[in-house]
Amino acid sequence: MATVICVANQKGGIGKTTTATAIASILNEKKHKTLLIDADPQGNSTDTYRGTSKDTATLFDVILDLEDPLPINEAIQHTEIGDIIASDPLLKEADTKFPSDGDEYFRLKEALEKLEGYEYVVIDTAPADNKLLKNCLVAANKLVIPITADRYAIQGLSDLNKTIATQKKRNNPNLEISGLLLVKYKQRQTLAKEVKTALEDIAEKMNTKVFNTTIRESAIAQKAQAARTTLIKYDSKCTTATDYKDFVKELLKGEK
């Protein structure tokens, strides 16, 4: 079964999509067959991968078509960027669509159990604490939390940690918080250094770590988004792409 890496943070504008698409792109370059799942109704990962949500199967059909759920392999779009299960604007209604039958948090996990042909699955999530996020946490083996070096970003970690702890206790004891990933990082800023120190204390309380690798800020990421491609494919030698490559090495360190 594929290793499932979830990228999550309940705060918006934190770099989840750039991180998720970078991880998936780098894994594919390393010849690891990787599937990206866009679980954010905004569909930014879908746009980056040049996928479509119109008149085609999406994540909605896999986990929220309750009468006749689509087999997960039939929802995969093979694009020139990589393989993806597209988001769908209908996912905004997910909380009202999921039945309260005790199994509502397991629909993505059960779908992924039938996935064939992939070593890794990377999930991009929305900045929300809802049933869709909980489905992603229950389905995942590893959780990466991108975070910027500012106090407002840190404040949201407490609520996210409660959500993670609840799902670990009730539904997915095997979920590992792989670490906090500092993104858009400016090493020369005194505040960034202070926040990084504070994050290390918070990470210890969350029984995880702050990754040694930090992701430096650059304008290239925005240019890649505008070009509808991943950072790695747009400019694999820029500082941000180099940082993400180092991060993926750190993330996978120790895996067989």
pTM of the model: 0.95
For residue 188, being part of any structural domain is answered with yes
Show the tokens assigned to 203.
């990470």
Taking alpha carbons only, the member of 57, 62, 59, 37 closest to residue 49 is 37
For residue 106, being part of any structural domain is answered with yes
For residue 62, being part of any structural domain is answered with yes
Q: What does each of the 256 residues of the chain score in pLDDT, given as a tens digit?
A: 899 999 999 888 889 999 999 999 999 999 999 999 999 999 999 999 999 999 999 999 999 988 889 999 999 999 999 999 999 999 999 999 898 887 899 999 999 999 999 999 999 999 999 999 999 999 999 999 999 888 777 877 888 999 999 999 999 999 999 999 999 887 666 666 777 788 888 999 999 999 999 999 889 988 999 999 999 999 999 999 999 999 999 999 967 5
Confidence at residue 167, expressed as pLDDT on a 0 to 100 scale = 96
The range of the structural domain enclosing residue 30 comes to: 3-249
Give the chain's domain count.
1
* CATH code assigned at 20: 3.40.50.300
For residue 109, being part of any structural domain is answered with yes
Burial class, 21, CB count within 10 angstroms (exposed 0-12 / middle 13-18 / buried 19+)? buried
For residue 256, being part of any structural domain is answered with no
